[in-house]
Amino acid sequence: MASQTSSLPAQAEEGFKDAASYDAYRPSYPPEAVEKFLTNLKVAQQFDAKIVELASGTGKFTELLAQRPERFLVKAIEPHQSMREKLVQKDLPGVEVVDGKAEKMPIADEWGDACIAAQSFHWFATPEALKEIQRVLRPGAVFGAIWNAEDYNKPKSWPATTKWEQKLNDFVYSLYDGIPRFRHLKWKEVFDQQLPATPLQVIKDTFTDRLPRFSLPLGEDSVKWTVWLSEEALSLRLNTLSQIALLKGDKREAYLKLLKEILQGDDVERNENGEIAVHGITYFIWTDRI
pLDDT tens figures, 157-212: 999 999 999 999 999 999 999 999 999 999 999 998 885 544 544 444 444 455 67
pLDDT tens-digit series, residues 49-60:
999 999 999 999
Instruction: Return the pLDDT at 166.
Output: 98
Q: How far apart are CA 47 and CA 57, in angstroms?
A: 24
Helix axis angle for 249-262 and 163-174, nearest 10°, is 170
Q: In whole angstroms, what separates CA 56 from the centre of its chain? A: 9
* Amino acid, single-letter form, for residue 218: L
Three-class SS of residue 32? helix
Three-class SS of residue 24? helix
DSSP state for residue 188 in the 8-state scheme: G
DSSP state for residue 208 in the 8-state scheme: T
Phi then psi for residue 74, to 5 deg, are -115, 130
Half-sphere exposure of 23 (CA within 13 A, CB side): 19
Average pLDDT across each block of 10 residues of the chain; the chain has 290 residues. List them in order.
50 66 91 98 98 97 98 97 95 98 97 98 95 96 98 97 98 95 96 66 49 88 98 95 93 97 97 98 97
Instruction: Return the pLDDT at 21.
Output: 85
Q: Which residues contact 152 (CB under 8 A, 6 or more apart)?
A: 160, 165, 168, 169, 172, 238, 278
Instruction: Return the pLDDT at 210.
Output: 58
Q: Tell which residue, 249, 243, 34, has the closest CA to residue 148.
A: 34
Three-class SS of residue 96? strand
Q: In whole angstroms, what separates CA 154 from the centre of its chain? A: 13
Q: How far apart are CA 31 and CA 47, in angstroms?
A: 19
Question: pTM for the full model?
Answer: 0.90
Instruction: Return the pLDDT at 202.
Output: 45
Answer whether 44's CB lies under 8 Å from 65's CB. Answer: no
- Distances 182 to 6, 71, 153 between C-alpha atoms, Å: 20, 30, 9
